[in-house]
Amino acid sequence: MTVDIDGTELAHRVVLVGLVTLDAGEETPAHAGEVRRVCTEELDAVKGDVVDGVAV
């Protein structure tokens, strides 16, 4: 399966990073709240240089 990551929106990319982070910590499957928390933490790590946040 080939995925065109360049064709995705930034919000989708952030969610993918969050899911990978959770999976790496063996915290999957995860509820939407946990995914949102991790995504927010990842965005905070870049100090909002890219986006203000992820709307839910």
Enumerate the domain spans of the chain. 5-45
17 vs 51: which has the higher pLDDT: 17
| pLDDT at residue 47 in the model | 67
Mean pLDDT of 13-24: 91
Q: Which two tokens stand for residue 44?
A: 């905070």
Rg (CA), the chain: 12
Confidence of residue 11 (pLDDT cuts 50, 70, 90): confident
Mean pLDDT of 27-54: 80
**Alpha carbon distances (Å) from 11 to 26, 32, 46, 48:** 23, 14, 14, 13
| pLDDT at residue 13 in the model | 87
28 vs 42: which has the higher pLDDT: 28
